[in-house]
Structure formats: C-alpha cells, structure tokens
Amino acid sequence: MSTKYVGEKEIKNYHCEENICEVEYLDNKIEILSKIMFDEIVTEEKCDATTLRDKRVRPVVAQVLGVMRLWGLKTSEVGYFSALLNQSLMNNENEALKHLWKGVVPTLETLDDVSLVDVDLILKSILPDDIPSPYGEDTSK
C-alpha cells in the first residue's frame, strides 16, 4: 500500500463506510470526511494548504454552478442566493452550538444568553487542574 496524504498530513489509517470516512494521521489526530471529499483530496504526494483548499473547494463550486445552471438561476439572483446560503449556514451552525451549550445552560434560548460564567465553566471542565481559568479566581466565595 502506497503512502497517502491529505495536504501535508500523512495518513496512518483510514476506514470508509457508506458516505463517511474516518482518517487517522501519523500524529494520531482523526478527521471525519465525506467519501466524495476523501476521494477528491487524498493523494500519493504532499501538497500545501492552498493546493488542498483548491482541491476541496473547486469541485464543490463546479457542482453548485451546475445546479444553478440547471435551475436557470438569473445572474441578478446570484447575490441573493449567496446571502441566503450564508444565512442558512450560519443559522445551522448557531443551532448546533445552541444544542451543545444546552449541556451547560439548559434554559438557553439564544447564543446571546451565554455568559462568561458559562464559558468559564466549560474551560474549567476541559483545562488541566494546574492551569488557572483565564477569567481569574472566583472572588465571590
């Protein structure tokens, strides 16, 4: 089996099931990729970050342009399409973040409700005990 890379990272092992691939790199970091993306970006030679970005994005742009052409989107609608797409992506990301935050703030309605106390609780839960909170010591005791 020849050596395979994603950008500059050498693949140690990978496993694909249906449309998802789990890639483990030599540094033991794991990345989850769609199968179509995996097939597009895995190479037998290293490439820099700019080349990797092009390999990742250009095929997606080509498919999106094909869909836009298939639907007969007007050039005057492209700006609105782009804004609507960005808004949809942001809304989905915010909903995912809200779901994650509800583990700390069960009554959370909006991400604007997250306080620095909540952020500090998360950081304390993931930082080693010998690393102090970036928000300082609790002086309310």
Per-residue pLDDT tens digits for 79-126:
999 999 999 999 999 999 999 999 888 999 999 999 998 888 888 888
- The residues spanned by each domain of the chain are 1-73, 75-141
State the residue for tokens 């782009």.
82
pLDDT at 1: 64
pLDDT digits (tens, 9 = 90+) for 26-61: 999 999 999 999 999 999 999 999 999 999 999 999
Please answer whether residues 23 and 10 qualify as being in contact, where contact means their C-beta atoms are separated by less than 8 angstroms. Answer: no
And the tokens for 42?
A: 């895995």
In this structure, the number of other CB atoms found within 10 A of the CB of residue 122 comes to: 14
